Amino acid sequence: MITTTADDSASPNEAAGKPADASHSPADAANHEVHQAHGGSLPILILGALGVVYGDIGTSPIYALREALNVAASDGALVREDVLGVLSLIVWSLVLIVTVKYVSFVLRADDEGEGGTLSLMSLARKGFTAQPAIILILGVVGAALFVGDAMITPAISVLSAVEGLNTVTPAFEPYIVPITIVILFALFAVQRFGTGVVAAVFGPVMCLWFLALGASGLVHIFDDPSVLSAFDPAHAIFFLIDNPGLSFAAMGAVFLAVTGAEALYVDLGHFGRKPIIAAWLILVFPCLLLNYFGQGAYALKTGGNLSNIFFDMQAGWALLPMVVLATLATVIASQAVISGAYSLTRQAVQMNILPRAGIRHTSETQSGQIYVPRVTWLLGLGVGLLVIGFQHSSSLAVAYGIAVTGQMLVTSVLLFIVMRRVWRWALWLAVLPTLVFVVVDSAFLAANGAKVAQGGWVSLAVASVMCLVMWTWVRGSRCLVDKTRRNEVPLDLIVRQMEKKPPTTVPGTAIFLTGDPDFAPTALLHSLKHYKVLHETNAIMTIQTSASPHVPDEQRVRIERISEHFMKVCLTYGYMDEPNVPRALVLCRKQGWKFDIMTTSFFLSRRSLKASKDVGMPLWQDQLFIALTRNATDATAYFQIPTGRVVEIGTQVVI
């Protein structure tokens, strides 16, 4: 159980809020709406999964095989065995990583139905009475790597689709980057209006996209049906053996075909396993295979002309519609990543890994539809700079992949912990699949690691900054708690003193929000010191985050009367729930606590922090932590407390 407080200072006990998918995304608003609106109807959920879960991996055919074949042809002419070898690598990557690892194993590791890196971290921690720091570290690293991936995905996806205009006519060449920037700017600008209306067409558009992928690939398989022999993994093995100098580069390019596999797990909480698996096996996987094989057959027929193989193989009448459809598909894929970033942010805040962030709800009925302004514009700025800096999707492809592979490796390690500590599998049974996953993930990580100097450093730099921010927040929060606790007074002592020698009482109710109900809140001590009065009813309120994603209303509130004038109130939220104090007070009434909100005041402590090189963290980290606290969202707004009923009392703390 993670305790949270509404003090306007920063402590690990302060970060409460309803996380998403972030994931979550992390959890996505669109799929949440589909699930809620259609009551779990399998066909509708499958359609929704197509629109959200498979956007990223579904747009990989635009550039994945092209980049892999370019690598294979880099040391000379492209020969038949190169094409078959690359195709075989793609096919078996999709089989091992997506079908075996994620569909067969990872999707089973749900935390009460929720998925994503942080949910997997939460599930793994349930296997221990004490919470090992290594699990938190793995969760932080995985979340940071997701952010690195989230910045590149919209850039490479939309840019690669718009580049199809070059195939229509070379006259578009100077306008590719500006058009991409305009599309991305519009995408980020509309986030504040919510995705509910747009989400309604996500599924049908992506369904049409996958059917178009399958149809265009199937037509070209007849150019050279022998391309189907790439199902034989021997082609992949011999390609790697015969091209040792290109193996790492080729695998790094092949990995582009499976980027987006994490989305299957991130969106588990809203669709469930069955729709995600059904969508993959019935439509997505077959259509991807047909398209990749069609591209391969076309490459064999044309002798390896690889300028833009995906669009080159389209019939003349179908080229422009395919460019438009590809652009729509990549925008949808980008939307899913953006929603995932929102979800991840909310979940990380709730788990005390990030400071409070301003979260706006864009739907009155769907809590999953959120908008995080700070994340939107930081992400949008980063994506725009990537497009301008790299100019071409081929250049971005070099930078893409290392963050995704790192996140997949983190997932494999956490999954092993869940197998052993939560599912109680025998050691050999947990080791066997984990060993396969780790070997495959490590091979791809090493292959993508070779691209660091060519641009892979971008996603690593973003992930490193996120790790630093998270580490500083967690460490600084703990230092602050240790520092303030030394000066705190046990609540029982204050209550006994007040009962023996009560001060003047005034009508009404005072609610003091704190992170530790066993000690008197700073706001209470200062109120007694300066005002010399006590309210008739004083509630010491603590907001806690459960290790579970959701907490039902009947378990939300716990009230304990400790004296005539004092009571303890504990509000518990799941890490996927939204903290709302006024709504919780309605539940308190049902438990017998009678009060008038018009005579109720909320007392919050606002701590002013000063850095010190002699206390706690290094001075630079103190200053970073203070900057994070200053930019954190105000506790009043975050916990949705009526602003007209709030009294803030400030203190100064040296950290």
pLDDT tens for each residue of 272-290: 888 889 999 999 999 999 9
Residues 525 and 426 in one domain: no
Q: What is residue 307's predicted lDDT score, i.e. its pLDDT?
A: 74
**Averaged pLDDT of the chain:** 82
Q: Specify if 134 maps to a domain.
A: yes
Residues 409 and 533 in one domain: no
Average pLDDT of the segment spanning 148-177: 84
Q: What is residue 2's predicted lDDT score, i.e. its pLDDT?
A: 41
Residues 93 and 241 in one domain: yes
Answer whether residue 32 shows pLDDT above 70: no
User: Where are the strands (E) in 268-423, listed by range?
Assistant: 360-361, 370-371
Give dist(CA 314, CA 321) in Å, integer. Answer: 10
Residues of the chain above pLDDT 70, percent? 90
Answer whether residue 595 shows pLDDT above 60: yes
What percentage of the chain's residues is helix, strand, coil (to nearest 5)?
65, 10, 25
Lowest-confidence region among 363-372, 440-449, 541-550: 363-372
Answer whether residue 18 shows pLDDT above 50: no
* Alpha-carbon torsion (448, 453, 459, 464), positive or negative: positive
Long-range CB pairs of 388-394 (<8 Å, 24+ gap) are 388/177, 388/181, 390/155, 390/455, 391/177, 392/159, 392/163, 393/62, 393/63, 393/156, 393/159, 393/160, 393/163, 394/63, 394/66, 394/67, 394/70
Q: Which H/E stretch holds residue 217? A: helix 196-221
Lowest-confidence region among 161-165, 422-426, 449-453: 449-453
Residues 410 and 326 in one domain: yes
Confidence (pTM): 0.79
What DSSP line would sit under 52-112, residue for residue? HTTHHHHTGGGTHHHHHHHHHTTTS---HHHHHHHHHHHHHHIIIIIIIIIIIIGGG--BT
Average pLDDT of the segment spanning 233-261: 87
Lowest-confidence region among 3-7, 121-125, 263-267, 350-354: 3-7
Residues 535 and 387 in one domain: no
Answer whether residue 14 shows pLDDT above 70: no
Residues 431 and 509 in one domain: no
Q: What is residue 287's predicted lDDT score, i.e. its pLDDT?
A: 96
Q: Name the DSSP class of 490.
A: B
At residue 616, φ and ψ (nearest 5 deg) are 65, -120
Report the candidate in 73, 649, 33 with the shortest Cα–Cα distance to residue 370.
Answer: 33
* CATH number of 69's domain: 1.20.1740
Q: Is 558 helix (H, G, I), strand (E, B) or coil?
A: strand
Q: In angstroms, how far is the first alpha carbon of the chain from the final one?
A: 26
Lowest-confidence region among 28-32, 80-84, 314-318, 615-619: 28-32
Q: Tokens for 441?
A: 């993930």
Q: What is residue 364's predicted lDDT score, i.e. its pLDDT?
A: 53
Contact predicate 84/238, CB 8 Å: no
Q: What is residue 19's predicted lDDT score, i.e. its pLDDT?
A: 34
Q: Specify if 485 maps to a domain.
A: no
- Residue 487 or residue 100, greater confidence: 100
- Residue 329 or residue 632, greater confidence: 329
- Residue 1 or residue 203, greater confidence: 203
Contact predicate 362/193, CB 8 Å: yes
The highest-confidence range among 328-332, 423-427, 544-548, by mean pLDDT, is 423-427
Report the candidate in 55, 60, 78, 36 with the shortest Cα–Cα distance to residue 396.
Answer: 60
Q: What is residue 198's predicted lDDT score, i.e. its pLDDT?
A: 55
Q: What is residue 604's predicted lDDT score, i.e. its pLDDT?
A: 85
Average pLDDT of the segment spanning 143-149: 84
Give dist(CA 89, CA 243) in Å, integer. Answer: 13
Please report where in the chains the tokens 């606290």 appear, as a residue: 629
Residue finishing a domain among 403, 432, 457: 457
Average pLDDT of the segment spanning 232-250: 87
Residues 446 and 498 in one domain: no
Report the candidate in 334, 314, 323 with the shortest Cα–Cα distance to residue 164.
Answer: 323
Q: Specify if 116 maps to a domain.
A: yes
Q: What is the pLDDT of residues 110-131, one digit of tens each?
A: 887 778 888 888 888 888 877 7
Domains: count for the chain: 2
Q: What is residue 4's predicted lDDT score, i.e. its pLDDT?
A: 41
Q: What is residue 129's predicted lDDT score, i.e. its pLDDT?
A: 79
Give dist(CA 503, CA 496) in Å, integer. Answer: 12
Residues 505 and 643 in one domain: yes
Determine whether 501 is exposed, middle or buried from the number of CB atoms within 10 Å of its CB (0-12, 13-18, 19+). Answer: exposed
Average pLDDT of the segment spanning 132-140: 87
Determine whether 218 is exposed, middle or buried from the number of CB atoms within 10 Å of its CB (0-12, 13-18, 19+). Answer: middle
Answer whether residue 35 shows pLDDT above 50: no
Residue finishing a domain among 457, 483, 518: 457
- Containing domain of residue 358, as a range? 22-457
Q: Tokens for 254?
A: 């092949």
Q: What is residue 102's predicted lDDT score, i.e. its pLDDT?
A: 93
Q: Specify if 465 maps to a domain.
A: no
At residue 510, φ and ψ (nearest 5 deg) are -115, 125
Residues 510 and 589 in one domain: yes
Report the candidate in 560, 504, 448 with the shortest Cα–Cα distance to residue 148.
Answer: 448
Torsion of CA 356, 361, 367, 368, to 10 degrees: -80
Residues 379 and 428 in one domain: yes
Give dist(CA 30, CA 52) in Å, integer. Answer: 7
Contact predicate 470/143, CB 8 Å: yes
Query: Amino acid identity of 369?
Result: Q
Answer whether residue 10 shows pLDDT above 80: no
Going by DSSP bridges, is the β-strand pair 566-573/557-561 parallel, antiparallel, or unpaired? antiparallel
Average pLDDT of the segment spanning 490-500: 85
Residues 66 and 155 in one domain: yes
Average pLDDT of the segment spanning 474-503: 82
Q: Specify if 619 maps to a domain.
A: yes
Average pLDDT of the segment spanning 231-247: 88
Q: Specify if 464 maps to a domain.
A: no
pLDDT-derived band at 75, boundaries 50, 70, 90 = low
Q: What is residue 415's predicted lDDT score, i.e. its pLDDT?
A: 93
When computed from its CA atoms, the radius of gyration of the chain, rounded to whole angstroms, is 27
Q: Specify if 1 maps to a domain.
A: no
Q: What is residue 196's predicted lDDT score, i.e. its pLDDT?
A: 54
Lowest-confidence region among 114-118, 225-229, 461-465: 114-118
Q: Specify if 40 maps to a domain.
A: yes
Residues 313 and 426 in one domain: yes
